[in-house]
Amino acid sequence: MSHITDPADCQTMTEVREGVDDIDRRIVALLHRRFGYMDAAARIKTERTAVRDEWRKADVKAKVREEGERLGLDVDLLDRLYEDLIETSIAHELARWDGIRA
């Protein structure tokens, strides 16, 4: 793997693209692990209605917002991204829950 240039040090679009591609690979790996936890939740939860947990959804979004603020990110953008991620995760977990018990 080639050296990845820090964003502040990028001088070319090639360096920028290499950095973005590296980050995207890492994000996909993290999503794979996150969805593994959704699989575990589907296995552990005994009731289908427990899959959608609005309190937990709000808790996750609040923690993300807090971390985003700490890092100086656009927290409204993070909120929209996590809304999609959480809803996709719930759909995945429901499908797994149904599949386990079919």
Could you tell me which residues are annotated as the binding site? Answer: 17, 34, 45, 93
Binding residues for substrate, by number, are 17, 34, 45, 93
Residue for token pair 């386990």: 100
Residue for token pair 């050296």: 3
How many Cα atoms sit within 13 Å of 84 on the Cβ side?
Answer: 6
Helix boundaries (H) for the chain: 13-44, 54-71, 75-100
Residue 88: closest CA among 80, 76, 77:
80
